[in-house]
Structure 1
């Protein structure tokens, strides 16, 4: 089973742009829908009410099965949860042993959505973290594994 996710970029988060660029993505991908459609980053053309309304419309039209966000703060997550009719199912954020934000994990647990780690190996730097090296050695493998 393939789970297909894509993002709407920060310069295309105005209502009409969300609808247009999502349809263009679907055409390029050769599919009728995506399993998960992300707001890439809440900057530039992001307006919570209009952007998230467009995402709801795409879910209602069965062009996206679920909504996710990326790189949101807790307050932006609260606003998204309040504004979306569709459930928020994922938040993609940078997360690895060298950079953790427990407040985002707590929020995800409280609101029942998944956290998707961005850069979980920190560009390869986690192989130098003592705890990661110890776990790898204990399991007769390498930190990269």
Structure 2
């Protein structure tokens, strides 16, 4: 499987398993199955309330821990230093692991002390408890403040990104700074299967629309994707998207789709940049 490797200590498989909103035994079973199929990148978060279920899978699998990339995140109401450290310790305990491979601030908040919060997660990295650190759901201006003004050694940003939501401004920035961008909701909550242009491209290649949508993301330099999939057939088809090859006509068709269809926008979300 292709990996994204960058100067911030990141070594992340391009395709991962998203675990939200799976919990309990269903989540453990899905993670174990994914690892058996060949996945080596699992995405979880304190806010998903399933780190214990992921941890049970990590403990039960025959795949060595060092071969599995685990991303986790701290929730937006735990960003004060003491609360953040306590949340991180709970995450490690639930994951039954001595470290996480990538640790993210899940959502920014208007009143957060960004420098202080970043100092805490940078300390986790320096101590080897988080192999790499990053953020999620940061608009460009906030990401720029974190990286250029504060100088935090961020390896990645995770944001909603799919064939009908563009992230070109963020992509330009992360490439300039040798970061990765992980796409969540990469299948637009399965709406890609109803987009006529994607369906037509899939038919041309003899694959599924979801595989086209993932292939489009995964062929982009520095871009990873974490589709949620519980069943074996979906996990397998997502994995097989790594072998799908688009042509220039396909890319032009996808480029012409609307790029402003944001599906994840909770009340606590930041003010987003215009999609590009």
Fold match (TM-score > 0.5): yes
Relative distance call for 1:110 and 1:75 in structure 2 (3 A) is same
Unaligned runs of 5+ in 2: 1-66, 212-276
Q: Aligned with 1:123: secondary structure?
A: coil
Q: In the alignment, what sits opposite 1:79? A: 145
Deviating above 6 A after TM superposition, structure 1's stretches of 4 or more consecutive aligned residues are none
Structure having greater relative contact order (Cα 8 Å, sep ≥ 6): 2
Following superposition, the deviation at residue 102 of structure 1 comes to 1.1
Q: In the alignment, what sits opposite 1:30? A: 96
Q: In the alignment, what sits opposite 1:49? A: 115
1:109 aligns with 2:140: no
Following superposition, the deviation at residue 144 of structure 1 comes to 2.4
- Coordinate RMSD, CA, aligned: 1.4
Following superposition, the deviation at residue 131 of structure 1 comes to 2.9
CA distance in 1, matches of 2:106, 2:197: 32
1:97 aligns with 2:163: yes
Following superposition, the deviation at residue 11 of structure 1 comes to 0.4
CA distance in 2, matches of 1:138, 1:123: 23
Q: In the alignment, what sits opposite 1:124? A: 190
Correspondence for 1:66 among 94, 112, 132 = 132
Q: Aligned with 1:108: secondary structure?
A: helix
Q: In the alignment, what sits opposite 2:79? A: 13
